[in-house]
Amino acid sequence: MSSPSQEDDPQFVTVIADEKETMNIKANRTTYLSNFLGYHEYFSLEMWRGAITELVATATIIFALTGSVISCLESTGSDPNLTVAFAVFVVGFLFLLVTIPLSGGHMNPAFTYIALLKGIITCSRASAYVLAQCLGSTIGFLLLKAVISHQAVRKYSLGGCLIRDRTVPSSDLSPTSALVMEFSCTFAVLYVGVTVALDKRRSKELGLPMLCAIIAAIWALAVFVSITITGQIGYGGVGLNPARCLGAALVEGGQLWYGHWVFWVGPFLACTIYHVLSLTFPST
């Protein structure tokens, strides 16, 4: 009479099943971590093409948008704040329309960060994009400084992210108030623009031009509200783009470094809270 084999032993079978389950869990964790980090993308030509697109797009939009805003402020119009918002809408719409099909149309570390949180891009791609955006912003401001008058550079601090103009006695906006404004306006842009953009069914129904118009509109509205509601002459308005604020500060320096942290903490905090809240949104 033959003795029973280990394969027939229930305890042995249970042990083997537990070991396989443990190995599967470890493999899944390793796969998730690998996909999240995406280190393999550093060797991907496609990712670097996207990063170069982000660099060029960011440099160009910084030059075009900041130049347009300064031109609006220098004009003799009755309401420069409104013309600034209109310029933001037009420039933003055109650049989004062109770059979204190419690289996702981020041109902003905040948009890259929310894309990372949503699992749309990997950490590797996000790091390459943010580096490209910061470098592109610096190049854009260098080009702008080379073509506009020295007087305009001093008057508008090169169109950078300014909380307090020390040459204006009535400019007393605190970094805390600027942080609240930065957070609120960024969250509004995310809640309207990103929510629509991430809804595949609605995005398809609207089409790319309408989607770009919606994002550009809430972007322009946020800028208009920020420069109007505070009533502070020395306040340059909401930044909405940490790379833009960094580029101007690196090129022009001086008072642009005052409270510079606000323009990073505000948008990234808004992205984090928006992501957490979006997990509770009903599925469509």
pLDDT in tens, 85-117: 999 999 999 999 999 999 999 999 999 999 999
State the pLDDT at residue 120.
92
Angle of the 80-103 helix axis to the 208-229 helix axis, nearest 10: 140
Instruction: Look at residue 263 and tell me if it is in a domain.
Output: yes
State the pLDDT at residue 53.
97
State the pLDDT at residue 40.
86
State the pLDDT at residue 233.
58
Instruction: Look at residue 52 and tell me if it is in a domain.
Output: yes
Other beta carbons within 10 Å of 181: 24
State the pLDDT at residue 278.
94
Cβ(64)–Cβ(91) below 8 Å:
yes
Residues 210-236 have pLDDT tens digits of 999 999 999 999 999 988 876 565 567
- Phi/psi at 64 (5° precision): -70, -45
Q: How is the chain split among helix, strand and coil, in percent rounded to 5?
A: 75, 0, 25
Task: State pTM to two decimals.
Answer: 0.85
Q: What is the mean pLDDT of residues 243-264?
A: 94
Lowest mean pLDDT among 48-52, 53-57, 168-172, 264-268: 168-172
Instruction: Look at residue 17 and tell me if it is in a domain.
Output: no
State the pLDDT at residue 172.
65
CATH number of residue 188's parent domain: 1.20.1080.10
According to the 3-state scheme, what is the secondary structure of 81-141?
HHHHHHHHHHHHHHHHHHHHHHHCCCCCHHHHHHHHHCCCCCHHHHHHHHHHHHHHHHHHH
Query: Containing domain of residue 69, as a range?
Result: 43-278
State the pLDDT at residue 249.
96
- Compute the distance between CA of residue 254 and CA of residue 194 in angstroms, rounded to an integer: 34
Instruction: Look at residue 179 and tell me if it is in a domain.
Output: yes
Instruction: Look at residue 219 and tell me if it is in a domain.
Output: yes
Instruction: Look at residue 16 and tell me if it is in a domain.
Output: no
- DSSP label of 281: S
Q: What is the mean pLDDT of residues 168-194?
A: 87
Q: What percent of the chain has pLDDT over 90?
A: 62
- Compute the distance between CA of residue 217 and CA of residue 86 in angstroms, rounded to an integer: 9
Round the average pLDDT of the chain to a whole number and report it: 87
State the pLDDT at residue 32.
55
Instruction: Look at residue 18 and tell me if it is in a domain.
Output: no
Structural domains in the chain (count): 1
Q: What percent of the chain has pLDDT over 70?
A: 83
Q: Which of 35, 83, 94 is nearest to 215 (CA)?
A: 94
State the pLDDT at residue 6.
54
